[in-house]
Amino acid sequence: MAQILIIDDHDSMREGLDLLLRRRGHTTHVAENGARGMAVLEETGMDLVITDLKMSEMDGLEVLEAVRGRYPETEVLLITAYGTIETAVRAMKLGATDFLTKPFSSEEFAVKVERLIKAKEERERLRRENRSLRVENTYLKERDEGHEAKYGEIVGESAPMQRVFRWIERVARSESTVMVYGESGTGKELVARAIHAGSGRKSGPFVRVNCGALSDSLLDSELFGHEKGAFTGAERRRRGRFELANGGTLFLDEVATVAPQTQVRLLRVLQERELERVGGEDTIPVDVRIIAATNLTPEELLDGNGFRQDLFYRLHVVPLTLPPLRMRKEDVPVLVHHFIDKLRERTCSPVRSVTQAALERLAEYEWPGNVRELENVVEQALVLADGPELDADDLPPFGMRGDTLATGPDPMLDSEGTDLNRVVEGMEERLLRQALSRAQGVKAEAARLLGLKPSALYYKLEKYGIES
């Protein structure tokens, strides 16, 4: 049902129309002159304004012009006295949706109003559909239907990413150990999940261990489990991630950080496919497919970083290196569309599409934080933008990663000036997210990285609505 405003300086006419429309279930507002009517419009958006033509002060044509100028989505129905057809024609030229000449029956009036409202709803529906089609058309339609099932959330049209997709498909079916290389934020975890999802083990568990987030001794018992009393605090026997991943895939993330003693244990499991829990003597067989990941290169891994060569060759069986985003900038548009689609609900954003200018600006940047950094920038833009189309101006300041901040260029003040608070808040939010991500979500550590008291960090996370 519609929101309708009736403007007429004749009380009986205004009240009669009002009653008629309310009986049909519409929400109505009334005003006895144009100025009052405009004030009502200011407060409440209307689907339809019905106005008499001849009124003292602001007449119907002036109302029409004002509504057209300020509320282009609102329909206007003019009511004219018999014999002023010329004015009616003028009104249509000025953009009235329709007019009705007096005298008219209540039936005529009702039919006309319903028709106007239906037409307006239909137009809005089409507009909404068009918008979402525009987002979808750009990439979804081009993706074959099985894409998502096969590769999860990974998107990319560039030649390097097409190679990655083919590679995933081939490797998934095998049981081989996989080593995924790639800079931070290139999608290593997504690839690991896609391999699992495409494998014969897909109905088994996918278990991730972030080797970089755990202390050496904790990692040991996390991976291999422990027996009761194996060390102080081991009050119960506990199964490790290898056992939990039985029949599925174990993803060893940030494997380069594993301590020497744990490397030896890992090597043994990879060779023998069996393990002993920490403090235990029983040998437990494991049926697990291993995928490991690191943001070092193979050379760096072998080159004096304390990584055992024998373990390296056990992991580096089928290697894959994910290309950094700066080497495949043609993927920026599909990624941006993908993130708009993925994040717009969570951010309650009105954004449905993105302009060419915005895409070009995003493609100019080198993205040292790769896809993750791009995703963060799009998320911020979605939060900040207030229209349906994301333009270059809606983009938050980017290229100000914490690690380039000290040496990077100062943010420039251009001729139009800037909004200092917005820039500073944008930076603050980015640094908070980075610190949290680097601290693997451990807030105390993130606070330390930022030189903040934990309480100050909590306050800021709350302020920006960041969840670790």
- Is 108 a binder of ligand ATP (CB under 6 A)? no
Token pair belonging to 13 = 């006419």
Within 273-355, residue ranges assigned H as helices are 298-302, 309-315, 332-343
**Per rule CB under 6 A, is residue 156 in the interface with ligand ATP?**
yes
Binding of residue 76 to ligand ATP (CB under 6 A): no
- Asked if 305 contacts 296 with a C-beta cutoff of 8 angstroms, the reply is yes
Is 397:424 a contact under the CB 8 Å cutoff?
no
For ligand ATP, the closer of residues 41 and 325 by Cβ is 325
Closest contact distance (angstroms) between CB of 341 and ligand ATP is 11
Residue 315 interacts, among ligand ATP, Mg ion, none and using kind-specific CB cut-offs from 5 to 8 Å, with none
Residue 186 in contact with ligand ATP, rule: CB under 6 A: yes
Residue 194 interacts with ligand ATP (CB under 6 A): yes or no? no
| Position among 9, 62, 189, 391 found at the interface with Mg ion (CB under 5 A) | 189
Shorter beta-carbon distance to Mg ion: residue 188 or 352 = 188
Site string for ligand ATP, 115-154 (x = CB under 6 A): --------------------------------------xx
* Cα–Cα distance, 94 to 334 (Å, whole number): 42
Sheet holding 206-210, edge to edge: 206-210, 249-253, 289-294, 178-181, 318-321
- Lookup: tokens for 354: 């993105």
DSSP element (H, E) containing 321:
strand 318-321
β-pair type (284-285, 274-275): antiparallel
Contact flag: residue 155 with ligand ATP (CB under 6 A):
yes
Q: Binds 241, which of ligand ATP, Mg ion, none (CB < 5 to 8 A, cut-off by type)? A: none
- The nearest distance, CB 191 to Mg ion, in angstroms, is 10
**Least distance to Mg ion from the beta carbon of 210, Å?**
8
CB of residue 180 vs ligand ATP: minimum separation in angstroms?
Answer: 8
154 binds, among ligand ATP, Mg ion, none (CB under 5 to 8 A by kind): ligand ATP
5/335 with CB nearer Mg ion: 335
Query: Which range, of 188-196, 230-238, 295-303, 434-442, touches Mg ion by CB under 5 A?
Result: 188-196
Q: Which stretch binds ligand ATP (CB under 6 A): 71-79, 177-185, 355-363, 380-388?
A: 177-185
Distance between CA atoms of 292 and 300, rounded to whole angstroms? Answer: 15
Minimum CB–partner distance for residue 323 and ligand ATP (Å):
10
Q: Which is nearer to ligand ATP, 9 or 445 (CB)?
A: 445
Q: Tell which positions 261-300 bind Mg ion, by CB under 5 A.
A: none
* Beta-carbon contacts of residue 311 (< 8 Å; ≥ 6 apart): 263, 266, 267, 270
User: Could you give the C-alpha distances from 166 to 150, 320, 386, in angstroms and in order?
Assistant: 10, 11, 39
- Decide if residue 187 touches ligand ATP (CB under 6 A): yes
Q: Which is nearer to Mg ion, 189 or 445 (CB)?
A: 189
CB of 169 or CB of 189, closer to Mg ion: 189
Asked if 402 is part of the footprint of ligand ATP (rule: CB under 6 A), the reply reads: no
Measure the CA–CA gap between 42 and 44, rounded to whole angstroms. Answer: 6
Does residue 97 touch ligand ATP according to CB under 6 A? Answer: no
Q: Does 49 bind ligand ATP (CB under 6 A)?
A: no
Contact letters for ligand ATP, residues 333-362 (x by CB under 6 A): --x--x------------------------
- CA distances to 180, 351, 361, 427 from 336, rounded to whole Å, are 24, 12, 12, 20
Q: Per CB under 6 A, which of residues 260..299 are in contact with ligand ATP?
A: 295
**Are 353 and 388 in contact, with CB atoms under 8 Å apart?**
yes
CA 35 vs. chain centroid, Å, equals 43
CB 161 within 8 A of CB 349: no
Characterize the bridge pairing of strands 318-321 and 353-354. Answer: unpaired
Structure tokens at 137: 């058309």
From edge to edge, which strands make up the β-sheet containing 3-7? 27-31, 3-7, 48-52, 75-80, 98-101
Q: Where does this chain bind ligand ATP (CB under 6 A)?
A: 153-156, 182, 184-190, 295, 335, 338, 371-372, 375
Chain residues that interact with Mg ion, rule: CB under 5 A: 189
